[in-house]
Amino acid sequence: MNNPLQFNTIGITDSPELIDIEKPEQGLELHVGSNVFRNTNGVVKLQGKEQLVLETQPDPLALLLTMDLYDEQGTRIGHIRRNRLSVHSAGRFTINVNTGSETTADPTPSVTVADRTTGHTVFEVCLLQRRKIRITVGNFYTHKGELVTVSPHYCRIGTVLTLFGNVAESRANAAAIG
């Protein structure tokens, strides 16, 4: 048995039963507008800086958002850590969390962040499937003070970069935009 290509089989090889080997969990698939970032670690880098992190919680099914909020000068004006606003952010922003409870009218887990001063939605994200997350609305600023706009059709940073219909393989890293 010196030939390395020889091997011994254990058990019955003529068995009609198939063995189902469970695959390890793949990363999250992020849909940002019409753009898809496959196999991410849930982190989104905007202009080179990690600005938001998306996580899923299995029981109860929930979506968790961690995000830094900036103004048009690039000054940090708010922080969300796993769906909780920091103390200095609570006066300006509101957060609405919908868990995957089947007792509610909409069983889709989602997180919505709104600006109290303008009444506009700053960020909205929902869980499509167990590992697929869609950012449906975005109107916020990067750490460089550039406006990020996410609609169902595109993702735009400032006036320089617009992405629509792109598919990127992240290889278990962050989704990098800009």
Residue 128 lies in a domain: yes
Give the 3-state secondary structure of residue 13.
coil
Residue 13 lies in a domain: no
Phi-psi category of residue 112: left, alpha or beta, with phi > 0 → left and psi -120 to 50 → alpha = beta
pLDDT reported for residue 3 = 53
Residue 69 lies in a domain: yes
Q: How many domains, in total, are found in the chain?
A: 1
The pLDDT of residue 141 is above 90: yes
Residue 32 lies in a domain: yes
Residue 79 lies in a domain: yes
Residue 6 lies in a domain: no
Q: How far apart are CA 120 and CA 117, in angstroms?
A: 8
pLDDT reported for residue 78 = 94
- Tokens for 81? 């850590």
Residue 49 lies in a domain: yes
Tell me if the pTM is above 0.85.
no
Q: How far apart are CA 156 and CA 133, in angstroms?
A: 18
pLDDT reported for residue 1 = 47
User: What value does the mean pLDDT take over residues 134-148?
Assistant: 96
Q: For residue 72, give its domain range.
A: 28-168
At 15, is the pLDDT very low, low, confident or very high (cuts 50, 70, 90)?
low
Residue 1 lies in a domain: no
